[in-house]
Chains A and B, each alone.
Chain A
Amino acid sequence: MRHHSGKANRTWLIILGILFLAAGALAALIASGTLARMASGSPGQSDQVLIGGPGFLAWEYASWCMLVAGLILGILGLWWLLAQVPRARAAGMFRLQGDPAHGATVCDPQVLAAAVAHETDQLPGVVGSSVRLRGTADEPDLAMKVTVNSDTDVQGVIARIQQEVVPHLASSLEVPLNTFGLEIDASSKAGAPGGGSAVSSRGTVVY
Chain B
Amino acid sequence: MSTNIRPPVSMRRRPSRSVPATITALLLLALGVALVWGGVVRLAQGGWPVFVTEPVRVLGETGWDSAWGWTGAVVLLLIGVILLLCGMIPGDFSALPLRAKPGKLTGTSGSAEAGDLSAVRGGENVVMSRRAVARLAASTCDHIDGVASASASASSRKVHLDVTTALHDASDVQHWVEDGVRSRLAATGLDPVPEVTASVRVRN
Mark A residues whose CB is within 8 Å of B: 1, 4-6, 9-14, 16-25, 27-28, 30-33, 43-51, 53-54, 56-57, 62-67, 69-78, 80-81, 83-84, 134-135, 138-139, 141-143, 150-151, 154-155, 158-159, 161-163, 166-171, 174-188
Of the stretches B50-58, B158-166, B172-180, B193-201, the one at the interface is: B50-58
CB of B32 within 8 Å of the partner chain: yes
Contacts of B132 in A (CB 8 A): 150, 184-186
What 0/1 pattern do residues 24 to 44 of B give for CB contact below 8 A with A?
Answer: 111111111111111110110
Question: Please, which residues of chain A bring their CB within 8 A of the CB of B128?
Answer: 154, 183-186
- Taking the complex as formed, is B63 at the interface, i.e. its CB lies under 8 A from any CB of chain A? yes
Point out the residue from B29, B39, B103 that lies within 8 Å of A67, measured CB to CB: B39
- Asked if A143 meets B120 with Cβ closer than 8 Å, knowing A72-B32, A154-B189, the reply is no
Minimal beta-carbon separation of B154 from chain A (angstroms): 11
The answer to whether A31 and B69 touch across the interface, beta carbons within 8 angstroms, is: yes
Taking CB atoms, residues of chain A closer than 8 Å to B26 are: 77, 81
Which single residue of chain B is at the shortest CB-CB distance from A11?
A: B87
The reply on B188 being an interface residue by CB < 8 A is yes
Please tell me which one of the listed residues A49, A64, A77 contacts residue B29 in the complex, with CB atoms under 8 A apart: A77
Taking a contact as CB atoms under 8 Å apart, the answer to whether A73 and B32 are in contact is: yes
Q: How far is the CA of A49 from the CA of B86 in the complex (A)?
A: 29
Q: Is the CB of B6 within 8 A of A179?
A: yes
The distance in angstroms between the C-alpha atoms of A72 and B60, with both chains bound, is: 26
Contact of B11 among A44, A71, A76, A183 (CB under 8 A): A183
The docked-state distance in angstroms from the alpha carbon of A64 to that of B40 is 9
| A84 adjacent to B39 (CB under 8 Å) | no
Output the nearest chain B residue to A85 by Cβ-Cβ distance: B18
B7 near A179: Cβ-Cβ < 8 Å = yes
Q: Which residues of A contact B169 (CB under 8 A)?
A: none
Whole-angstrom distance from the CB of B138 to the nearest CB of chain A? 8
- Whether B122 is near chain A, meaning CB under 8 Å from some CB there, is yes
Given contacts A4-B13, A24-B74, A70-B39, contact A84 B60 (CB under 8 A): no
Q: Contacts A54-B56, A182-B11, A188-B135: A176 and B120 contacting too (C-beta < 8 A)?
A: yes
A-B pairs with beta carbons under 8 Å apart, 7 shown: A13-B87, A16-B24, A80-B28, A134-B9, A167-B106, A182-B127, A186-B128
